[in-house]
A and B are shown apart, each in its own frame.
Chain A
Amino acid sequence: MEMQLGDAGEGVLSVSLTGRLDTQGVDRIETKLTAHLVPIAARAIVDLSQLSFLGSGGIRMFITIARALNRRGGKLVLYGAPPIVAQVLDMTSVNDIVPVRADAETAAAAARG
C-alpha cells in the first residue's frame, strides 16, 4: 500500500492510495493519514482508482477519519473507485455516510460544500 499526499487546490487536500487496502495496508497508512488530516480539520478527497483491494479494515479507517473530520468542521470524500471496490463500498452502505463520487472534480466540489 502506497499513499501520496497533495493539494487539490482551493483549500482541499488530496490523497492517492495505490495497492491493497487490507489489514496490512491499513496498518501501514492509518496513523500517518489521520495525523495529516485530523489536527487541521482538513477537507480532503481520496483517490481510490489505484486500489486493487478494499476490505472492512479500510472502510473502518475511512469512517473513523471522516467522523473525526466532521466533528471538527472538516470533510472526507472518496472518489474513483474501480467497479469491484465500489461494490464493497456499496455492500457496507458506507456511501450513505461518507460521500463517494465518480471523479476528482465532483469530489473536490463536495469537499468544499
Chain B
Amino acid sequence: MHANPVTIHFAGTHDGFAQGFARLRGELDAERLDAASRYSAELIFEEVIANIIRHGAPDGRELDVRVTLEARADCIVLTFDDDGVQFDPRGHPDPVPANSLDQAKVGGLGLMLVRRAASALDYRRTAEGRNRLTVTVQRPREAAAPSRAPCKT
C-alpha cells in the first residue's frame, strides 16, 4: 500500500529535480496508471518543474519545491508548491505555430504541453508567498476503487 496523497519534497536544483522525478515515477508505478494518463502526469511534472528551476529564482537562490500527488477514482491531481517568484501560468498564451524554422520560437512550449495534457489547471499565490499550481489529469475510472472520491471536473 502506498500513501495517497503523497508529497514529494525536493530542492529546485538539477539533482533535486532528478530525485523528485524518480520518486514521482515510483509513486506512479505503485498507482498502475494506464499509459496515456501516466505519460501526461510525467510530462506535466517535467514541464512545470523545468520552468520553476529555469525562471523561479533570478537571484540564483535555491528554491524549495513540494509536489503532492493524489489519485482519485477518475483523475489524478498534481499540486506544485514552490517559493519562487510569482508566476501564474494561466496568464501566458500558447505560442502561435511558426510557418518556418527561422520564425520558430522555442519559448512557451512547455506550458502549452501542460495545458494540453491537463483537464483542469488552477493557480493561486498562498498567504505564505508561495506559488500553488493544481493540475488535474483525467484517467479511466477505476473499477475497484469505491473508497476514492471522483473528481469535480
Binding site for B on A (CB under 8 A): 22-24, 27, 53, 55-57, 59-60, 63-64, 66-67, 70-71, 84, 88, 91-93, 96-98
Contact = CB atoms under 8 A, between A and B. Distances in A.
Interface in B104-118: 104, 106, 109-110, 112-113, 116
Interface stretch (B2-10, B39-47, B62-70, B137-145): B39-47
Chain B interface SS verdict (over half) = helix
Contacts of B42: 53
Contacts, number: 66
B97 A96 contact: yes
Category for how many chain B residues contact A: 20 to 34
23 contacts: A22-B46, A23-B50, A24-B14, A27-B14, A55-B43, A55-B46, A55-B47, A56-B47, A56-B50, A56-B113, A57-B50, A60-B106, A63-B106, A64-B106, A66-B101, A84-B35, A84-B36, A92-B112, A92-B113, A93-B98, A96-B98, A97-B98, A97-B101
A59 B112 CA distance: 12
| Cβ-closest 5 pairs across A and B | A56-B109, A93-B97, A56-B110, A60-B106, A67-B101
